Amino acid sequence: MPRLLQLTILSAAALLLAAQEPPLRGYSAEAARLQRQWEARFRDIPSTENLRAYVERLSARPHHVGSPYGKQNAEWMLAKFKEWGWHAHIETFQVLFPAPKERLVELLEPSRYLARLQEPPVPEDPTSDQQDEQLPTYNAYSADGDVTAPLVYVNYGVPEDYDQLERLGVSVKGAIVIARYGASWRGIKPKVAAERGALGCLIYSDPREDGFFQGEVFPQGPYRPPHGVQRGSVLDMPLYPGDPLTPGVGATAGAKRLPLSEARTIARIPTLPLSWADARPLLATLRGPVAPLAWRGALPLTYRLGPGPAKVRLRVKSSWDLKPAYDVIARLRGADRPDEWIIRGNHHDAWVNGADDPSTGLAALLEEARAFGELLKQGWRPRRTLVYCAWDAEEPALLGSTEWAETHAAELRRKAVAYINTDSTGRGFLRGEGSPTLEKLLSEVARDIPDPDTRFSVYERARLARIASASPQERQDIRKRAALRISAPGSGSDYTAFTAHLGIPSLNLAFGGLDGSGIYHSIYDDFYWYTRFADSDFRYVRTLAQTAGTAAMRLADAELLPLEFTALAESVRRWVRELETLFRDRRAEIQERNRQIQEGVFAALADSRRPSVTPSVEPLPPQLDFAPLTAASEALQRAAKRHERALVSCFSDASTMLPRGAGLQPAAPQAEPPAPRGSPWSREGQSRTLAGASPRSFEAVNGRLIGAERRLTDPVGLPGRPWFKHLVYAPGLYTGYSAKTLPLVREALEQKRWRDAEAGIARTGGILRNMAAFVEATAAEMEKGTR
């Protein structure tokens, strides 16, 4: 066959294949073809052998904040980034990190028991006996104190539990409370206890949540053994994360710091975590009312509320020292738009060895960085700058990422396009939370990633798993949507400062759902456990690297930033409806309870042997007008649809806009296939325009899109916690990790602050109207470029 005919057939086949592939958002047809080639090359590079080696190395010794091995890990990663062709450095912050000097939990009455407060090594687990380097079992940022008081069981220790205790006639004032882990972030438990008058707080791991009730315990199985303890911070991070002494500014060596007594986020009462083996003797001596059915765990005892006759002594004393936090920051400079940044992060510190949390997510990030280094050798360059970050000090208070973001806040507001976070990962289904504007991007990427255990894509497997567990109404929604819905970002990992404080669109990614775990924040979260009970062959860690890396690459190389506003508009519409329903239900609930009080229902049901308190009549809430939110939501929907039409118009003729030198080249007879020619990230491809749009207008649209999420923030911030600037989603004041959407209104309704809710409707409506106008103006700019 003549050579010319061969080339013609190859070119025709390539064009046919490109026509069959779904379009990539933000790419012309030709740019998408080249992009897919580079992405396929990228996804072939990550190695399970490398990932296994990274996790084993990173988790070989305890590496908490300020530890010698933590610094060694940072220096090792720095060398790796440089080896792979990245420009990298370590940025150091001085952060407050208390460590315990004294810990005591002792049952004094009616019998005596001294809590062990230690996790025993397991003979077959080689790193569980590194006791000289392990942090003790404790809750960081607990108040110092030595208190003796009656004990009261408070279930999960969230506000609703205290409301129920009050109805049952049980007070925690002057008591030490014992709460089980679950239902909220742990820092909420001592916070609410202190607000209700308690003197101290104990938090234990009930086997119903992650122990023998779930399955075999370690070392026979993955679940928490009798003396396993969950360490963790109890800093009041819903007020602000990061260093408690430097709110809003980076904790550099010369930063001005608050006196310790003025740090609002430090817990107000002494707090310690317990194993269920240490909690059982305390719970067994409680008397008083039997706990409600939903409050009962899996221990072989009758769960009672108290107070007493159990009397407990709790003592905590810590050293309140500054420790160095080592952030490893690596950059690949963009060839075309170096001042537009795609940021990718995962933390490297752990409470102890941290094989699962965080080394699996960090290993994925490192292997992505190596893969990009390999692509550099083949001629690829990112259009935008990639910034890869290994954060220190995440576990205590999101310290490393928050201090870095605060230090570089002005630059990040100008340059940051998006932030992609991981933390830990297992086997199973893709899980994502983040900004709705990135929802479609994530689904597009997930469609291109094969699930390592099935014939499905990562997208399809996650979609089908959701259908299997959804309600009938939810199934209908899943089946009709073109993208996987992602949950709104709350807090709990390093995306918080980027999203909630700076208004940078973010994603938080992981795989999971197939394996159980009970080693969270314990000495048993190590390489031995992970390689026996989690992703033992590291195939899902590799899939995480492929997913997060492809998302970063697609953002970095897009001609037009692939942000999408219809998912945001749809989400806002749903959230507004939820608020209307919440208010209607709250009002009806108060109205009905008041009627029952007047009818004597509570008096008729009273049991003289089980005292209870009749609730008081509440004023009926005033009617609230949600019209400002509804109107703003509708305006945002219209603007989002216009933006989508403009995007389609921009790329409708893009298939004809080929860069100089574009086209598939014939395969050469060599082991390594040739790099795609005509790359839009090489010098020869930088002249591309958007379907006839001028480079200047293209640049202007991207410049606007970078600032889109910032439009949802307000410099004033949320009431009582101004560090949180985002008015569309934020961590709940009494949930910690879970997001509260439209928080100005939702939290006011939940806390029955009706006038604040009214003001929140107006303020949130204004933000949404401004966002709608911004999207309209952006669409108009795109339309101008296609005329």
- Radius of gyration of the chain, Cα coordinates, nearest whole angstrom: 28
Annotation says 403 is catalytic: no
Residue 198: both structure tokens together: 């308690």
- The answer to whether the bond into 309 is cis (omega within 30° of 0) is yes
Which burial class, exposed, middle or buried, applies to 209 when counting CB atoms under 10 A from its CB (0-12, 13-18, 19+)? Answer: buried
**Lookup result for tokens 């050798």:** 377
- Give how far Cα 429 sits from Cα of 69, 356, 760, 763, Å: 33, 17, 37, 38
Q: CA-to-CA distance for 159 and 188, rounded, in angstroms? A: 9
Q: Are 520 and 119 in contact (CB under 8 A)?
A: no
Q: CA-to-CA distance for 409 and 402, rounded, in angstroms? A: 10
Opening angle at CA 99, ends 93 and 102, nearest 5 = 165
Q: Are 568 and 486 in contact (CB under 8 A)?
A: no
Q: What percent helix, strand, coil does the chain show, rounded to 5?
A: 40, 15, 40
Structural element, H or E, at residue 767: helix 754-785
Q: CA-to-CA distance for 709 and 176, rounded, in angstroms? A: 44
Residue 501: both structure tokens together: 């404080």
Q: Are 201 and 457 in contact (CB under 8 A)?
A: no
Q: Are 121 and 128 in contact (CB under 8 A)?
A: yes
Q: Which of 676, 657, 680 minimizes the C-alpha distance to 665?
A: 676
Q: CA-to-CA distance for 156 and 160, rounded, in angstroms? A: 9
Q: CA-to-CA distance for 291 and 267, rounded, in angstroms? A: 27
Q: Which residues contact 556 (CB under 8 A, 6 or more apart)?
A: 334, 342, 382, 383, 384, 385, 386
Helical pair 48-58 and 539-557, crossing angle rounded to 10 deg: 100
Q: Which of 444, 461, 554 minimizes the C-alpha distance to 511?
A: 461
Residue 286: both structure tokens together: 């409680």
Q: Are 273 and 314 in contact (CB under 8 A)?
A: no
Cα torsion at 458, 459, 465, 470 (round to 10°)?
Answer: 160
> What does the longest C-alpha to C-alpha distance in the chain come to?
100
Q: CA-to-CA distance for 184 and 156, rounded, in angstroms? A: 8
Distance of CA 113 to the CA centre of its chain: 39
E strands, 444-560, where? 506-513
Q: CA-to-CA distance for 773 and 109, rounded, in angstroms? A: 66
State the catalytic residue, choosing from 39, 119, 209, 394.
394
622 DSSP 8-state letter:
P
Q: CA-to-CA distance for 674 and 656, rounded, in angstroms? A: 24
Active centre residues (catalytic)? 394
